[in-house]
Amino acid sequence: MSDTSEILSPSAAIDLASVDLVASPATLQAKAAQASRVVPPHGGFATLPTPGPWAVIDARGPEARSFLHNQLTNDVTHLPPSQAALGGFCSPKGRLLASMLYWPLAAPQLSAAASTAQAPHAVPVPTHHDDLAHWPDIRLLISADIAEAIRKRLHMFVLRTKVKLADHSHDVALFGLAARVDDPAFDTALAALLIERGIGSAPTADAAGVAVALESVTVPAGSASLVSLLAGTVAGDAQIAPALPLVRHDSADGNGVTLLRLADAAGQRRFLLCVPAAGRDSWLAALAGRFGALDPAHWNWLDIQAAAPRITAATQDAFVPQMINFEAIGGVNFRKGCYPGQEVVARSQYRGTVKRRATLAHAEQAAAGDEIIDLNDPANQGSAEQWQPCGRVVNAAPAPDGGVDCLIELKTATPSNAALRVVLRSAATDTPQHDVSATPVTATAALSVYGLPYTLPAA
């Protein structure tokens, strides 16, 4: 039997209302205020190590798009070079084995000497950004702890398809940028940086001229306009998959520089900058000259605030996409053709009510993969071995003011008066003081739901 410090009355009145999965305006304001304290004024940047939490896999070849289109939950064939997208790779049972961010790469430009050899995946040099044949390759950003296993699993389906899957994590450097949604000083600095690094051009390169007319800044073919990259908000939408615009500068080897817009988080715009590893130091110096330093831990916390799930080794094969709102943030296209697990995903969408959803919560301690229980549930008042979980932690990151903020998957019928706890089964020793229960193998930490920054599709 577990030793609990709380008195749970069996005769207590049951609140039939379900927990609210969407944050209140007051909560959103509080999180925005919290973010404004950790993100430097007028924008900050964080260095994201590669290899590290993230890995980069390139799918290259004339059939790379069609191959991935047949494997992922989202459209790949029709993705324009000016956008990135979210996608998932499922098991035959419709459970996510991986989630990823991906965008097109330009075809490598052959030198005169190499043109006689004609590489297997060579296509004409890009001449018009609307012709997707000139953007055949796809770059995938995926959790590093599952990257090699997913690459090998995808490779099993290659057969005679003209595509090669290779890990390019050592070839790139990643930076995260964040700035307040309504910060024109950041827009000015970013535009000036792009011009300075040769990725954009303007009639005048001085900061004042850029500040007056961002629309006058021109970017290479295949890019979104700078205005569309910077303006407005990017968040999950129940009806329309959000576009993730990007600005690119492609090189002869098919790599180059990519700056893409991520989903907003806690009142902050976020951007991912992917550059060749050889240029890491020069980009680091250029960023430091215009923006403040952002703690990578705070970048990870902002990632949680966006409520965009990331599948890691601890959560592989645990969730159908809808359980973690993947379709609500544009990670699933229900009009595309078949892919592994497509029947299960479609049936969950059209024939049944989604009984589990993701939301944001704060815990005293949590890690991805930890189960969540309701101590008010009579099934959870006995031995820990008999506890019945009502959810699971998807992702977690230390909160700036202490504890952990996390994205959790939860039963939609969880009552609003639930006494939610994270089950810390790995905490066999050194049990924290705040734990409400402890056995030789199990401890729990308090958890409170504070809700999503976006709405969910109607059940």
Written as one string, the DSSP assignment of 201-243 is B-S--SHHHHHH-GGG-B--TT---HHHHHSS-----SSSPPP
DSSP alpha helix (H) spans, 276-350: 280-288, 296-305, 342-350
Same domain, 34 and 110: no
Same domain, 386 and 251: no
Domain span holding position 12? 1-38+354-459
Asked if the model's pLDDT at residue 341 lies above 70, the reply is: yes
Q: What is the largest CA-CA distance in the chain?
A: 83
Cβ(84)–Cβ(260) under 8 Å?
yes
Which domain CATH number covers 343?
Answer: 3.30.1360.120
Would you tell me the crossing angle of helices 280-288 and 184-196 to the nearest 10 degrees? 140
Which pLDDT band holds residue 434 (cuts at 50, 70, 90)?
Answer: very low
Same domain, 149 and 47: yes
Asked if the model's pLDDT at residue 4 lies above 50, the reply is: no
Cβ(360)–Cβ(304) under 8 Å?
yes
Comparing 404 with 213, the larger pLDDT belongs to: 404
DSSP alpha helix (H) spans, 296-341: 296-305
φ, ψ dihedrals at 280, nearest 5°? -55, -50
Distance CA(108)–CA(92), nearest Å, equals 34
Same domain, 4 and 73: no
Identify the pLDDT of residue 268: 96
Asked if the model's pLDDT at residue 79 lies above 90, the reply is: yes
Which pLDDT band holds residue 431 (cuts at 50, 70, 90)?
Answer: very low
Identify the pLDDT of residue 9: 34
In order of 103, 260, 451, the CA distances from 290 in angstroms are 27, 18, 34
Last residue of a domain, one of 327, 352, 377: 352
Which domain CATH number covers 431?
Answer: 2.40.30
Which of 41, 55, 66, 47 minimizes the C-alpha distance to 98?
A: 55
Question: Cα dihedral angle (428, 357, 260, 299), rounded to 10 degrees?
Answer: -30
Name the most confidently modeled range: 160-164, 235-239, 404-408.
404-408
DSSP state letter for 111: P
Give the 3-state secondary structure of residue 169.
helix
- Residue 357 β-bridge partners: 410
Asked if the model's pLDDT at residue 208 lies above 70, the reply is: no
Which pLDDT band holds residue 140 (cuts at 50, 70, 90)?
Answer: very high
Which pLDDT band holds residue 270 (cuts at 50, 70, 90)?
Answer: very high
Same domain, 99 and 164: yes
* Least confident range of 45-59, 116-130, 209-223: 116-130
Same domain, 74 and 168: yes
Last residue of a domain, one of 352, 375, 402: 352
Structure tokens at 398: 């230390």
Identify the pLDDT of residue 436: 42
Q: For tokens 């959103």, name the residue.
A: 28
Q: For tokens 């973010």, name the residue.
A: 35
Q: For tokens 């030198």, name the residue.
A: 111
C-alpha atoms less than 13 angstroms from C-alpha of 174 in its C-beta half-sphere: 20
Identify the pLDDT of residue 85: 95
Which pLDDT band holds residue 459 (cuts at 50, 70, 90)?
Answer: low
Q: For tokens 């999503």, name the residue.
A: 452
Which pLDDT band holds residue 255 (cuts at 50, 70, 90)?
Answer: confident
Identify the pLDDT of residue 123: 39
Which pLDDT band holds residue 109 (cuts at 50, 70, 90)?
Answer: low
Same domain, 7 and 57: no
Identify the pLDDT of residue 204: 64
Same domain, 308 and 445: no
Structure tokens at 361: 């919560």
The percent of residues in the chain predicted with pLDDT above 90, rounded, is 66
Cβ(451)–Cβ(359) under 8 Å?
yes
Identify the pLDDT of residue 65: 94
Cα distance between the two ends of the chain: 38
Same domain, 194 and 235: yes
Asked if the model's pLDDT at residue 173 lies above 90, the reply is: yes
Spell out the residues 6+ positions from residue 205 whose beta carbon is closer than 8 angstroms to its own. 192, 195, 196
Same domain, 225 and 335: yes
Other Cβ atoms closer than 10 A to 338: 10
Same domain, 6 and 130: no
Put residue 402 in one of left, alpha, beta given phi > 0 → left and psi -120 to 50 → alpha: left
Distance CA(209)–CA(411), nearest Å, equals 53
Length of the chain: 459
Asked if the model's pLDDT at residue 243 lies above 60, the reply is: yes
Identify the pLDDT of residue 117: 40
Same domain, 425 and 342: no
Asked if the model's pLDDT at residue 131 lies above 80, the reply is: no
Identify the pLDDT of residue 7: 30
Q: Estimate to the nearest angstrom the gap between the alpha carbon of 118 and the chain centroid.
A: 37
Amino acid at 190: L
Asked if the model's pLDDT at residue 35 lies above 50, the reply is: yes
- Residue 178 β-bridge partners: 44, 270
Question: Into how many domains does the chain fold?
Answer: 2
Distance CA(205)–CA(233), nearest Å, equals 27
Identify the pLDDT of residue 383: 78
Would you tell me the crossing angle of helices 296-305 and 25-38 to the nearest 10 degrees? 160
